[in-house]
């Protein structure tokens, strides 16, 4: 069967990417840039740095720093109104996934003069036009959301997360922005990217371009996370992690995440745990889950993760040994277990049905995932890593 693969959004990458982005904005004739971020990103100086770079090129910049996690629709509409009032002709999303998504979504509402809810896929999106470009600038190396078309918005009326599909016009990856990322955020973000790359590499929807990207992302994370933790200012390691998260994002946008993120989304939501942390805990169990369906891929991942597997192992044995190798690394990184985080084992297993019902992409996992299998996965994630 033929496969199609594509690249949704151009990426500007390098230690001077912010300055280069500002030059490009000016060359495009942009006059008024609206920067969407949260208070944390503003506090570390990232928003001012971006605004100053734009102003140096003659582009005026306004900073909106009221983004909250899982941005709700009313915040997206507040941004829309503020952008209109400012006369925005360039939107910038700066920070983590929420800021990037809210910036992209607010542009859709502004350009089309209707509430963002109209354009949510779940609400029967009638289609829309893009008039105002949106640049997205991640400040940590994890989500890869700069290169996916997804904008997740919390719809308050239905109290559910819904999706607007709109890619950015430019992703700006500047490693110098990520050196302020503290140790714990660096680890959790890398774990998110690692779960993306491993799930993508073992999904039921592979294509040759994204397979190369996914396993190289895994390798880069394994090689560079320890270096970045040893010296948080290590720009080369930071750059490699940022690149790894980005190519993992490109890979999963096409090939899909699956069981690990069904688990991570539900467990994170129910027990209020960091997404990247839970992703890290998912990785060994995802490896075990797909081991028999994906024996070659397991060997490739082992190589990328520097885990030696002897010849002659059965696929099940190879999966178990690789999973244990990953757990050893997670312990070295200091990733706390669910037990240490105070999660009750029975309550954990109790989220199995919702993990499947709330996350359609379980179908992208080899052999799909039943309620019973998810319950076993949940129990294993608790028992096997303590």
Taking the complex as a whole, the smallest distance from the CB of residue 264 to Fe ion amounts, in Å, to: 6
Of the two residues 257 and 304, which places its CB atom closer to Fe ion in the complex? Answer: 257
Taking the complex as a whole, the smallest distance from the CB of residue 315 to Fe ion amounts, in Å, to: 26
Count helices and strands (H / E) in the chain.
15, 8
Residue pair 44/181 in contact by the 8 Å Cβ criterion: no
Task: Please give the Cα distance from 43 to 19 (Å, whole number).
Answer: 20
Report which residue's Cβ sits closest to Fe ion. 192
Taking the complex as a whole, the smallest distance from the CB of residue 370 to Fe ion amounts, in Å, to: 23
Q: What is the 3-state secondary structure (H, E, C) of 178-245?
A: CCCCCHHHHHHHHHHHHHHHHHHHCCCCCCHHHHHHHHHHHHHHHHHHHHHHHCCCCHHHHHHHHHHH
Of the two residues 115 and 268, which places its CB atom closer to Fe ion in the complex? Answer: 268
- Burial of 48 from C-beta contacts in 10 A (0-12 / 13-18 / 19+): middle
Residue pair 91/103 in contact by the 8 Å Cβ criterion: yes
Of the two residues 192 and 300, which places its CB atom closer to Fe ion in the complex? Answer: 192
Of the two residues 111 and 285, which places its CB atom closer to Fe ion in the complex? Answer: 285
DSSP-derived secondary structure letter, 72: B
- Name the token pair of 370: 């039943």
- Binding residues vs Fe ion (CB under 5 A): 192
Across the beta sheet with 32-36, the strand order is: 11-13, 170-173, 134-138, 90-95, 32-36, 60-64
> Of how many residues is the chain composed?
386
Taking the complex as a whole, the smallest distance from the CB of residue 202 to Fe ion amounts, in Å, to: 15
Taking the complex as a whole, the smallest distance from the CB of residue 39 to Fe ion amounts, in Å, to: 23
Of the two residues 155 and 192, which places its CB atom closer to Fe ion in the complex? Answer: 192
Residue pair 151/166 in contact by the 8 Å Cβ criterion: yes
Taking the complex as a whole, the smallest distance from the CB of residue 50 to Fe ion amounts, in Å, to: 24
Taking the complex as a whole, the smallest distance from the CB of residue 138 to Fe ion amounts, in Å, to: 13
């Amino acid at each position: 069967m033929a496969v199609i693969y594509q690249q949704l959004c151009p990426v500007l990458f390098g230690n001077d990417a912010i300055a280069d982005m500002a030059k490009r904005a000016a060359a495009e004739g942009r006059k008024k840039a609206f920067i969407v971020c949260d208070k944390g990103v503003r506090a570390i100086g990232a928003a001012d740095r971006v605004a100053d770079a734009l102003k140096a090129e003659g582009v005026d910049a306004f900073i909106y720093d009221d983004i909250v996690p899982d941005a709700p629709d009313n915040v997206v509409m507040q941004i829309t109104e503020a952008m209109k009032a400012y006369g925005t002709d360039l939107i910038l999303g700066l920070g983590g996934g929420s800021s990037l998504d809210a910036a992209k979504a607010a542009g859709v509402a502004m350009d089309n003069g209707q509430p963002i809810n109209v354009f949510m896929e779940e609400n029967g999106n009638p289609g829309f036009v893009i008039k105002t470009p949106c640049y997205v600038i991640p400040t940590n190396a994890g989500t890869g959301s700069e290169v996916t078309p997804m904008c997740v918005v919390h719809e308050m009326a239905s109290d559910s997360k819904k999706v607007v599909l709109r890619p950015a016009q430019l992703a700006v990856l500047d490693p110098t922005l990520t050196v302020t990322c503290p140790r714990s955020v660096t680890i959790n973000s890398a774990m998110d990217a690692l779960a993306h790359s491993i799930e993508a590499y073992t999904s039921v929807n592979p294509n040759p371009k994204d397979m190369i990207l996914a396993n190289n992302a895994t390798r880069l994370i394994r090689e560079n996370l320890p270096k970045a933790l040893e010296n948080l200012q290590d720009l080369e390691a930071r750059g490699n992690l940022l690149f790894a998260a980005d190519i993992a994002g490109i890979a999963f946008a096409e090939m899909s995440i699956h069981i690990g993120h069904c688990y991570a989304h539900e467990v994170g939501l129910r027990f209020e745990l960091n997404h990247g942390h839970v992703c890290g805990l998912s990785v060994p169990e995802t490896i075990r889950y797909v081991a028999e369906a994906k024996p070659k891929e397991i060997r490739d991942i082992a190589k990328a993760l520097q885990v030696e597997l002897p010849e002659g192992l059965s696929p099940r044995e190879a999966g178990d040994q690789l999973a244990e190798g990953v757990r050893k690394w997670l312990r070295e990184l200091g990733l706390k277990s669910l037990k240490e985080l105070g999660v009750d084992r029975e309550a954990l297993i109790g989220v199995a049905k919702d993990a499947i019902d709330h996350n359609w992409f379980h179908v992208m996992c080899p052999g799909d995932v039943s309620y019973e299998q998810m319950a076993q996965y949940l129990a294993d994630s608790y028992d096997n890593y303590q």
